[in-house]
Structure 1
Amino acid sequence: MPKIAFIGAGSTVFAKNLLGDILSFPELADSTISLMDIDETRLNTTRLVAERIARTLGAHPTIEATTDRRKAVAGADYVITMFQIGGYRPSTVIDFEIPKKYGLRQTIADTLGIGGIMRALRTIPVLLDLAKDMEELCPQALLLNYVNPMAMNMWALNRASKIRNVGLCHSVQGTAMQIAQDIGVPIEEINYLCAGINHMAFYLKFERKTPQGVEDLYPRIHQVYKEGRVPDWNRVRYEMLKRLGYFVTESSEHFSEYVPWFIKRDRPDLIEKFNIPLDEYIRRCEVQIAGWEATKDVVENPNLPINVPLIQEKLRAAGATDWDINWITEIASKFDQIEKSHEYGSYIIHSLETGIPRVIYGNVENRGLIDNLPQGCTVEVPCLVDKNGIQPTKIGMLPPQLAALMQTNINVQALTVEAALTGKREHIYHAAMLDPHTAAELDLDQIWSLVDDLIEAHGDMLPPFH
């Protein structure tokens, strides 16, 4: 049976989903699960949850919990990363608040932009330290990375480590389900081909088989826009569909900060027109913290009754929407119920262990996969997984407008990775200069000053730069 290490296991809800996915496979039910986190309290909660999941499923894994990363990965076959360096406080708050002093506003700040750059500079050194541990203690293991900024993290890993890896996200399969709902076609009937970079991949095909042949579903997607049926929370992506002809994978709030067109301090009308939630990640973090505080007793002890009015009260005080409240309350009320998630991690492990072939979407090194994106950058493409490993699909040429847009993001990724691997401070400025949103809002002196302020504020959370 394989040993599977969870690094950052204090992310209890996410860990719970992956554990349920993994242990629901009979072939993986006796695996060794090694849970690791630096927060002993959260780690212990996840251990209790893992034990309950195993009992519920009738599985018999060996469950370990440790704050020692090297102990967790020693002898592992799979290592799953799911951490946030610097946490919500202080690091994420710094990434939002200091740019706001310059008039630079963000929505999520975990993938690109000045927030994504700083998050990468905090995260890459930790990932590379982990990779060194793996090279020594489990050199044949597969690293399954869920940590953002995905593209930068994976690019750095591929340049600086020989550890096998794949970056995993849920935007491809998640957005496909959203589109299916918008056009009224069951997702089970739909076949799609998607490619690009993480959070900026596009559906090159979206179709289904009918008795008359293959039906291209893109006309139905365009019809949603033409008929004014675009969901309020998805206006940016449908606008980009109109302009580019293809639908992008990541959400409207994410995408709005990858480009220079939607968030402008002298154009509040754009924020309203496209319904862009500024500081959205801050709001979500506050809601999640409040949700955890309101539900942790139930999570730790399933025999306790759920006080729904109290949960709702605490969540509303934290700025939760009705959707947030319903979602968090449902999670708490169904925490002992095991339902398959749409995360790829368990399917990859199962296919590698059993040989059962599956197609997943993975973030991998571009070695001849997409011809009009730089070799060596991180691309998101369909991959076949079986006993032979993770085998990416060659896509060829992307439509030129899509490749050109991706290149504006890849420029920032490349320079950030260069800064992380060389320690050269100048490349942090260069990355910020070329970031589409930052450059649209700030002049060069402001960008330089902003970078200096952020480096100083993050302090020891960043490695030294020269």
Structure 2
Amino acid sequence: MARATKIVFLGASSASFGMSMFRDLFSTHDLGGSTLVLVGRNVDRLGRSTRLAKLLNERSGAGFAIEATTDWHAALDGAEFVLHSTAIDRNRLWRLDFEIPRKFGIRHTLGENGGPGALFFTMRTLPVVFEFVREMERRCPRATFINFSNPESRIILALGRYSRIRSLGLCHGIFLAHDNVARILGMPKEQVDVWGAGLNHFQCLTDIRDRETGEDLYPLLCKKERDFDPAFSPLTRQLLHAFGYWLGCGDAHVGEYLSFGWEAGERGYNFDWDESERAKLTLLIDDVLAGRAEMPDWWSMPSGERAVSIITSMLHNRKQLIESAVIHNRKVIANLPADAAVEVPVVADIAGIHPVSLGPLPDGVAKLMTAQVQVQQMAVDAAMHASKEMAMQALLLDPVVHSEEAARGLLDELWEINRPYIRACI
């Protein structure tokens, strides 16, 4: 008989990510009898998410017991898995993370996982994460913390340094990279097999092969890329020419880590589109819950995220390979610092998460990534100590920041905006 578990979902009131997580949880029957506790701060949004979860659970026959609460402290009692997807005033503050550095002449792409914007994402996010994690250390010390929030690498790096809780981050970046190379190759993605390792949003595809024959597809990729649409992923393709490998999951993400990343475009995240899509989804959920609309078929289909695969593999000892997860390095990638958060394949089973080493990265690629690891280390130190002096050092280490005067100006302004959220975590 399958063993039941307790899963706590922090940030369950998010309509968009909540839907993705629900699609995965309720499209499996491997967790029947388990308890799913939905946690959110906004009572109205949490209520909507709870009604949606109960509807999907009933329709699918997944067999969960569903609870909801705003009291995340008590929710953690006895949990075995904690899913984290919270963010503080996400779009408003992220927009400022992007716009204020530009005012001081910083040219960047997204302002989320790299560059000065990522520093302040880190400063305000780690205190929230560690509030949860310190409570987990008291109430459910053997639980696994599965993170989806950005800045992914910095959160996992901080957890590896400062907490005993088992943690990993999950991201769909490897699948975006897979899609991109298959598109250039002109092959169905099911026929293309990729292996990747590196940093979150900055993976190196170490192998690209034909899934059936095992043929190395890198020579064909380099040949076809020369005549492919020049507007498609130009920065990533420039890196392919320079380093010989496909790096990352899209120009905007990779560009966050590079001094010249802005050359791929400086449009930033499309906040208006994001808010419009969230509003549409919320309206559709309300209509379905009220019986004014039919439930779309895609609501019952897996999203492609891997959290449920991790949970079921650990719970039922399946020794399943997961294409990529963000973990504390400890020399899994030998030529990146041991004290880094890296993205590598992992195997999940009843004993935990086991990283799969693909060997050292190509030398030039490792050196390119090491520069960013050092920025991440300094940003984590700044956030954990709530130190403005360390924050300035993190900015001056960052290749995206080209001016001390600009660094000081944006630091002062963004520090004041984020002051309510910055606090020491150690």
Smaller-chain TM-score bracket: over 0.9
Q: Which runs of 5+ in 1 are unaligned?
A: 264-269, 307-332
The match for 1:422 is 385
Q: What is the CA distance between 1:61 and its match in structure 2?
A: 1.2
Other structure's SS at 1:258 match: coil
Task: Return the match for 1:34 from 33, 37, 41.
Answer: 37
| Alpha carbons of structure 1 residues 459 and 335: separation in structure 2 relative to 1, 3 Å | farther
Other structure's SS at 2:418 match: helix
Alignment deviations for residues 29-88 of structure 1 (CA, whole Å, 9 cap, x no partner) = 332111111122221111111111112211221111111111222211100001112322
Take 2:397 and 2:158, find their aligned partners in 1: how far apart are those partners?
19
The match for 1:184 is 186
| Alpha carbons of structure 1 residues 184 and 447: separation in structure 2 relative to 1, 3 Å | same
The match for 1:452 is 412
CA contact (8 A) 1:299 1:335 kept: no
Alignment deviations for residues 139-171 of structure 1 (CA, whole Å, 9 cap, x no partner) = 111000011111111111111110011111110
The match for 2:347 is 384
The match for 1:260 is 259
The match for 1:399 is 362
The match for 1:353 is 315
Take 2:21 and 2:406, find their aligned partners in 1: how far apart are those partners?
43
CA contact (8 A) 2:383 2:424 kept: no
Give the CA RMSD over aligned residues: 1.9
Select between 251-260 and 157-166 the one with higher mean Cα deviation: 251-260
Other structure's SS at 2:214 match: strand
The match for 1:2 is 5
1:95-106 to 2 correspondence within 5 Å? 95-106=97-108
CA contact (8 A) 2:331 2:337 kept: no
- 4+ aligned runs moved over 4 Å, structure 1: none
One-letter amino acid matched to 1:350: T
Select between 95-104 and 375-384 the one with higher mean Cα deviation: 95-104
CA contact (8 A) 1:298 1:304 kept: no
CA contact (8 A) 2:154 2:380 kept: yes
Take 2:387 and 2:305, find their aligned partners in 1: how far apart are those partners?
36
Take 1:172 and 1:209, find their aligned partners in 2: how far apart are those partners?
16
CA contact (8 A) 2:107 2:266 kept: no
**Between the two proteins, what is the percent identity of the paired residues?**
29
| Alpha carbons of structure 1 residues 298 and 86: separation in structure 2 relative to 1, 3 Å | closer
CA contact (8 A) 1:384 1:393 kept: yes
CA contact (8 A) 1:203 1:248 kept: yes
Other structure's SS at 1:409 match: helix
CA contact (8 A) 1:5 1:72 kept: yes
One-letter amino acid matched to 1:348: I
The match for 1:286 is 272
1:82-97 to 2 correspondence within 5 Å? 82-89=85-92, 91-97=93-99
The match for 1:244 is 243
Take 1:209 and 1:252, find their aligned partners in 2: how far apart are those partners?
26
The match for 1:218 is 218
Q: What is the CA distance between 1:348 and its match in structure 2?
A: 0.3
One-letter amino acid matched to 1:253: A
| Alpha carbons of structure 1 residues 233 and 37: separation in structure 2 relative to 1, 3 Å | farther
The match for 1:329 is none
The match for 2:127 is 125
Q: What is the CA distance between 1:209 and its match in structure 2?
A: 4.8
Q: What is the CA distance between 1:23 and its match in structure 2?
A: 2.6
One-letter amino acid matched to 1:227: D
CA contact (8 A) 2:27 2:60 kept: yes
CA contact (8 A) 1:152 1:378 kept: yes
Take 1:118 and 1:389, find their aligned partners in 2: how far apart are those partners?
32
Select between 217-226 and 167-176 the one with higher mean Cα deviation: 217-226
| Alpha carbons of structure 1 residues 292 and 363: separation in structure 2 relative to 1, 3 Å | closer
Take 2:176 and 2:36, find their aligned partners in 1: how far apart are those partners?
27
One-letter amino acid matched to 2:411: V
Other structure's SS at 1:437 match: coil
Take 1:422 and 1:172, find their aligned partners in 2: how far apart are those partners?
32
Take 1:191 and 1:75, find their aligned partners in 2: how far apart are those partners?
39
Q: What is the CA distance between 1:184 and its match in structure 2?
A: 2.5
Q: Which runs of 5+ in 2 are unaligned?
A: none
CA contact (8 A) 1:5 1:35 kept: yes
TM-score using structure 2 length:
0.93
Alignment deviations for residues 381-419 of structure 1 (CA, whole Å, 9 cap, x no partner) = 111112221100123321111011101211110101111
Q: What is the CA distance between 1:336 and its match in structure 2?
A: 6.3
Alignment deviations for residues 244-271 of structure 1 (CA, whole Å, 9 cap, x no partner) = 11111221112223111242xxxxxx4x
Take 1:161 and 1:154, find their aligned partners in 2: how far apart are those partners?
10
1:107-126 to 2 correspondence within 5 Å? 107-126=109-128
CA contact (8 A) 1:98 1:454 kept: yes
CA contact (8 A) 2:314 2:351 kept: yes
Q: What is the CA distance between 1:305 and its match in structure 2?
A: 4.6
One-letter amino acid matched to 2:63: H
CA contact (8 A) 2:314 2:349 kept: yes
Other structure's SS at 1:438 match: coil
Take 1:60 and 1:363, find their aligned partners in 2: how far apart are those partners?
30
Select between 22-31 and 448-457 the one with higher mean Cα deviation: 22-31
Other structure's SS at 2:245 match: coil
Matched, 1:366 2:329: yes
